[in-house]
Chain A
Amino acid sequence: MAVVTALPHDAEPIAHAPMSYWRAVGWRLARDPATLVAGAVLVCIVLAALLAPWLAPYDPSAGSIRLRLAPVGAPGHVLGTDEQGRDMLSRLLWGGRMTLVAGLTPVLVALALGTVLGVLAGYVGGLTNTLVMRTMDVFYAFPAVLLAIAISGALGPGLPNTLLSLSIVFVPRVVRVAESATVQVKGLEYIAAARASGSGVLPIMRHHLLANVLGPILVFASTQVSLCIILAAGLSFLGLGVTPPAAEWGLMLNTLRQSIYVNAIVPALPGVAIFVTSMAFNLLSDGLRDAMEIRA
Chain B
Amino acid sequence: MSADNAMESRNNRDPRVSADAPLLEARGLRKHFPLRGGVLQRTYAWVRAVDDVSFDVYPAETLGIVGESGCGKSTLARLILRLIEADAGTVRFDGQDVRGAAPPQMKRLRRDMQLVFQDPYASLNPRLTIEDAVAFSLLVHGTRAAEARERARALLGRVGLDPRLYGRRYAHELSGGQRQRVNIARALVLDPKLLVLDEPVSALDKSVQAQVLNLLADLKAERALTYVFISHDLNVIEYVSGRVMVMYLGEVVETGTADALAQAPKHPYTQALFASAPSMDPDRRMDRPPIAGDPPNPIDPPSGCRFRTRCAFAMEQCAQAPPALRPVGPGHEAACYLFS
Q: Is A208 an interface residue (CB 8 A)?
A: yes
Question: Which range holds the interface residue count of chain A?
Answer: 20 to 34
* Interface-lining segment among B120-128, B297-305, B320-328: B120-128
* CB of A138 closer than 8 Å to a CB of B: no
A6-50 to B contact mask, C-beta < 8 Å, 1/0: 011111011000100100000000000000000000000000000
A45 to B106, CA, bound (A): 56
Cβ–Cβ contact B140 & A198, under 8 A:
yes
Once the chains bind, are B211 and A10 in contact (CB under 8 Å)? Answer: yes
Q: Is A4 a contact of B119 with CB atoms below 8 Å? A: no
- Please tell me if the beta carbons of B169 and A207 are within 8 angstroms of each other in the complex: no
**Which residues of A lie under 8 Å from residue B139 when comparing CB positions?**
203
* Closest-CB distance, A5 to chain B (whole angstroms): 10
A65 proximal to B (CB < 8 A): no
Interface residues on B, range: 35 or more
Cβ–Cβ contact A193 & B115, under 8 A: yes
- Which of A9, A196, A200, A208 sits near B114, CB closer than 8 Å? A196
Bound together, the chains give a CA A10 to CA B215 distance in angstroms of: 13
Tell me, yes or no, whether B162 is within 8 Å of chain A by CB: yes
Bound state CA distance, A9 and B205, in angstroms? 12
Q: Which listed residue, A3, A212, A296, touches B125 by the CB 8 Å rule?
A: A212
Cβ–Cβ contact B126 & A296, under 8 A = yes
Complex Cα distance A197/B184, Å?
13
Q: How many residue pairs bridge A and B at CB < 8 Å?
A: 113
Q: Given contacts A1-B218, A11-B161, A192-B117, is CB(A21)–CB(B170) below 8 Å?
A: yes
Q: Could you tell me if B128 and A207 are in contact, using CB atoms closer than 8 angstroms?
A: yes
Q: Which of B119, B137, B169, B187 has the most CB of A within 10 A?
A: B137
Contacts of B118 in A (CB 8 A): 189
Give Cα A18 to B121, complex, Å.
19
With A7-B160, A203-B140: A197-B110 Cβ-Cβ less than 8 Å: yes
B contacts, CB < 8 Å to A: 2, 78, 81, 83, 106-108, 110-111, 114-115, 117-119, 121-129, 133, 136-137, 139-141, 154, 157-158, 160-162, 165-166, 168-170, 172-173, 175, 177-178, 181, 183, 186-187, 190, 207-208, 211, 218
Q: Which residues of A contact B (CB under 8 A)?
A: 1, 3-4, 7-11, 13-14, 18, 21, 188-190, 192-200, 203, 207-208, 211-212, 294-296
